[in-house]
């Protein structure tokens, strides 16, 4: 298999651990291990204390799968397959589903593996482009024109990276209807689910609404535990899940034993975990609102509806975001992610607002803006 470089990951490989402030990270400030263990109930604490470091059950620890299933109405532990992060789930699912001659439609700009792996299978991939002028909303008319009898898979990431887009309920229902009409699988990448700024906006999960609906989840984003590398696919299509499990025998075979128990503790304690994440994100959003209010003629900003990232645009004529971001990191040690890393033009950049150093990072960005954009 030949696959193009993952531009964003290569960019992070260069910068992530070399800068003072990551103002473009997509995850929430990592949960401290001590705080996590303090959330353990008696059963999970005993599992942690008595842990031995052998191989684990390849589908995922039974209690963990049970806990993940409880995130979805009507799903059971056997409707869940555990992976080493969401990334592995995408890799296995797309490889199992697609082959040359198949067609997939994927939202874009977006997380590159959602379309790059599909391309690497030899399938034909159509990008469903989101536009700032439409507040990054899904365009159901466009989507209807993009699907065809060969369409095997539709991939939508919502809440969306990098724009913070979240469809309203009517649009979501329309999306599900299109997938159903064409007989395609619908992969909903829901790794930012539970970070809706208004809880009433939370959508049903893909796995809940469609037999061929697949929900992708992970501990990395809303649950603030990227270092666990625990993700999952959830679907009521158990034969599909069985094929993914067989494919996983060639990737990781099974998940990390300590991570499974820690993820179990995190999910059982999810009320506290998610409250903390939402608190960080909300406080940071207020700071971003103030910043963009103060710079209306230098930056354009479609306020996200959910998640921990947004996709503003630098609007100063003659100033390109790649150069400006390079100057910012050199002068202030603050990292942005230019839209070019998504292959997306137009002077956009990803802002992450899940980290607790955002106030200082934003002050430094503002100092650089004052020095270069006035
Ligand atoms: C939309 C989306 N899907 C999947 C992933 C992969 O998550 P993980 O790195 O935890 O495997 C990411 C990570 O940035 C993401 O933003």
Ligand 1 neighbourhood includes 26 CB (under 6 angstroms): yes
Q: What is the pLDDT of residue 37?
A: 98
Instruction: Please report the atom of ligand 1 found closest to the CA of residue 157.
Output: 1
The pLDDT mean for the chain works out to: 97
Instruction: Please report the atom of ligand 1 found closest to the CA of residue 192.
Output: 1
Distance 113 CA to ligand 1 centre (A): 9
Distance 86 CA to ligand 1 centre (A): 6
Instruction: Please report the atom of ligand 1 found closest to the CA of residue 110.
Output: 1
Ligand 1 neighbourhood includes 86 CB (under 6 angstroms): yes
- List CB contacts of 260: < 8 A, sequence separation 6 or more: 56, 60, 61, 64, 82, 230
Instruction: Please report the atom of ligand 1 found closest to the CA of residue 85.
Output: 11
Instruction: Please report the atom of ligand 1 found closest to the CA of residue 89.
Output: 11
Distance 143 CA to ligand 1 centre (A): 23
Ligand 1 neighbourhood includes 189 CB (under 6 angstroms): yes
Q: What is the pLDDT of residue 1?
A: 80
- List CB contacts of 42: < 8 A, sequence separation 6 or more: none
Q: What is the DSSP string of 39-108?
A: T--HHHHHHHHT---S---TT--HHHHHHHHTTSTT--GGGEEEESHHHHHHHHHHHHH--TT-EEEEEE
- List CB contacts of 233: < 8 A, sequence separation 6 or more: 80, 81, 83, 89, 92, 93, 214, 215, 216, 241, 244
Classify residue 170 as exposed, middle or buried by CB count within 10 Å of its CB (0-12, 13-18, 19+).
Answer: exposed
Q: What is the pLDDT of residue 374?
A: 81
Ligand 1 neighbourhood includes 108 CB (under 6 angstroms): no
| Mutation pick for ligand 1 pocket among 190, 214, 218 (CB with most ligand atoms within 8 Å) | 218
Q: What angle do CA 273, 8, 104 make, to 5 degrees?
A: 90
Listed as ranges, residues in the chain with pLDDT below 50 are none
| Mutation pick for ligand 1 pocket among 107, 115, 161, 227 (CB with most ligand atoms within 8 Å) | 161
Q: What is the pLDDT of residue 276?
A: 98
Distance 42 CA to ligand 1 centre (A): 31
Q: What is the pLDDT of residue 301?
A: 96
Q: What is the pLDDT of residue 175?
A: 98
Residue in the block written with tokens 């150069």:
323
Distance 237 CA to ligand 1 centre (A): 23
């Amino acid at each position: 298999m030949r696959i193009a470089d993952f531009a964003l990951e290569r960019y992070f490989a260069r910068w992530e651990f070399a800068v003072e402030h990551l103002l473009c990270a997509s995850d929430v400030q990592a949960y401290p291990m001590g705080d996590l263990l303090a959330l353990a109930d008696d059963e999970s604490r005993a599992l942690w204390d008595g842990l031995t470091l052998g191989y684990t059950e390849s589908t995922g620890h039974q209690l963990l799968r049970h806990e993940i299933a409880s995130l979805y109405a009507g799903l059971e532990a056997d409707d869940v397959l555990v992976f080493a992060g969401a990334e592995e789930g995408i890799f296995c699912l797309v490889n199992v589903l697609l082959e040359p001659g198949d067609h997939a439609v994927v939202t874009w700009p977006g997380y590159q593996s959602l379309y790059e792996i599909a391309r690497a299978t030899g399938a034909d991939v159509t990008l469903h482009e989101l536009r700032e002028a439409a507040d990054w909303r899904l365009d159901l008319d466009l989507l209807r024109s993009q699907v065809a009898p060969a369409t095997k898979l539709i991939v939508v990431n919502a809440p969306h990276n990098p724009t913070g887009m979240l469809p309203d309920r009517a649009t979501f229902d329309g999306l599900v209807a299109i997938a159903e009409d064409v007989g395609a699988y619908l992969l909903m990448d829901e790794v930012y689910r539970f970070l809706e700024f208004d809880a009433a906006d939370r959508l049903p999960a893909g796995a809940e609404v469609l037999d061929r609906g697949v929900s992708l989840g992970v501990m990395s984003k809303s649950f603030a535990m990227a270092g666990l590398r625990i993700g999952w696919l959830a679907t009521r299509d158990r034969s599909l899940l069985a094929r993914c499990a067989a494919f996983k025998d060639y990737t990781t075979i099974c998940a990390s034993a300590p991570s499974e128990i820690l993820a179990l503790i995190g999910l059982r304690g999810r009320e506290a975990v998610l409250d903390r994440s939402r608190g960080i994100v909300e406080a940071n959003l207020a700071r971003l609102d103030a910043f963009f209010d103060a710079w209306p003629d230098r930056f354009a900003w479609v306020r996200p509806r959910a998640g921990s990232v947004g996709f503003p645009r630098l609007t100063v004529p003659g100033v390109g975001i790649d150069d400006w971001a390079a100057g910012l990191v050199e002068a202030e040690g603050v990292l942005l992610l230019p839209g070019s890393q998504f292959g997306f033009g137009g002077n956009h950049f990803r802002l992450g607002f899940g980290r607790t150093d955002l106030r200082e990072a934003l002050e430094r960005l503002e100092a650089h803006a004052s020095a270069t954009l006035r």
